[in-house]
Structure 1
């Protein structure tokens, strides 16, 4: 992927994010879905370790840049004393206390819920975004393991009890400053076992052919949900 200096009205989509590079290599504007613009100077970008001059950038570098810029926009004051923060090398911030404040990263779980004994995958449609089906997901709470968080999220959103939970893979998600941790578990609950929290408009059980034949819309390419859903379908077809 190559990012070149472009006009202020042009844009390049990268993993669901949009990165603008002005012709003069001055301010850099980074925009992501559901996120306002973030502006920093070329000097500040240098401190992040991401050059403004045109060169080949990896997806990982762009993800890091978007995530760090988002953190800089949201975290402007020292939570210890309320003083304004100054960002320095590697996006570490300092307030009046001199205590280093490192960029925050929020862990979130997302994953496969398979109906035990049957090749069916639980998918949900977000009540606020009713365009596609995806995997159950949510943030890890304080005091929780990844397994505990995944079991809780599945029960809260879909009212299914999950067991034999294991880790699969991970993906940075700079749009929300998160690290998505892919999990997998099994349930014997074909039907909901309680009231849900209303985050999902509906849940369905999908077969491998539903996925492979594109009978239902799923999470877009570039997301860990897309990769996990398709990997599950291919595995079941083999």
Structure 2
């Protein structure tokens, strides 16, 4: 039996009082903005914010940011597919309007070219000061309310490890080594795939200029983590920081 998951225009997910996503046995809105097939038994329905808020309020629930479900495969896929559905209107090669396949996932241009949902690779990682049991955390200039790990998008022609080394050097002016794959996570709200790494550095202090993307950079011990606002649960950054804090 097919279930339906309504999602707002900015990725707002309606949840119950307990925080579980709200699934409906029938289409929850008569006039959806977009509809996409997530799995054989799950359809995501894009609706306006007022409508998705009403659906949550009807069961004493609320709306939450999709980032809370960053490690939930089904919700992440639903948000990502609806985001793509709303962004792709024309074939980037010839400019013709697109139509979508019956599942709402693949766009087809005027010449029949198939346009699949785009995923942008990004790197993120936990950098530890060699021999000191402190990690490098920072506040981003655009999202300055919390501390997180160093991250950035992969440039054309780079492999993932090179991208992480470059991002750490550009943003913090530290040189890293021992780059090791940790894990990955889709980040549906921006269409990214976050690839996590760990690394070490001997550079306690910057060895050059930074690009200014970070407004505060600091070394943090396990004991100090509890006093800082950190990346939210559901994010790969939160998972990596938590794993490091609990490893002794």
Q: TM-score, normalised by structure 1?
A: 0.79
**1:182 matches 2:196:** yes
Instruction: State the partner residue of 1:193.
Output: 207
RMSD: 3.0
Cα distance, 1:13 vs. partner? 5.4
Q: What is the deviation of 1:75?
A: 1.9
C-alpha displacement of 1:234: 1.0
Distance 2:167 2:132 in 1: 22
Change (3 A) 1:148 1:5: closer
Report what 1:33 is aligned to. Answer: none
| Matched residue, 1:34 | none
Q: Structure 1 regions of 5+ residues with no counterpart?
A: 29-38
Match of 1:74 in 2: 87
Q: CA deviation at 1:27?
A: 3.8
| Structure 2 residue 117 is the aligned partner of structure 1 residue 103 | yes
Q: Deviations over 1:210-233 (max 9, x none)?
A: 12xx11111011111001001111
Inter-CA distance 47–221: structure 2 relative to 1 (3 Å threshold): closer
Give the match for residue 51 of structure 1.
43
1:25 corresponds to 2:37: no
- Quickly say closer, same or farther: Cα 1:119–1:52, change in 2 above 3 A: closer
1:69-103 per-residue CA deviation (whole Å, 9 max, x = no partner) reads: 11122221101110011111361111111111111
Deviation at 1:4, TM superposition (A): 7.3
* Count of residue correspondences: 211
Deviation at 1:209?
Answer: 1.2
Contact 1:111–1:135 (8 Å) recurs in 2? yes
Match of 1:12 in 2: 14
Cα 1:113–1:71 change in 2 (3 A) is same
Alpha-carbon distance between aligned partners in 2 of 1:128 and 1:85, rounded to the nearest angstrom: 34
* Secondary structure of 1:114's aligned partner: strand
Q: How does 1:75-154 map to 2 (within 5 A)?
A: 75-88=88-101, 89=103, 91-154=105-168
Q: Distance in 1 between matches of 2:127 and 2:6?
A: 44
2:235 matched to 1:231? Answer: no
TM (norm. structure 2) is 0.76
Corresponding residue of 1:205: 219
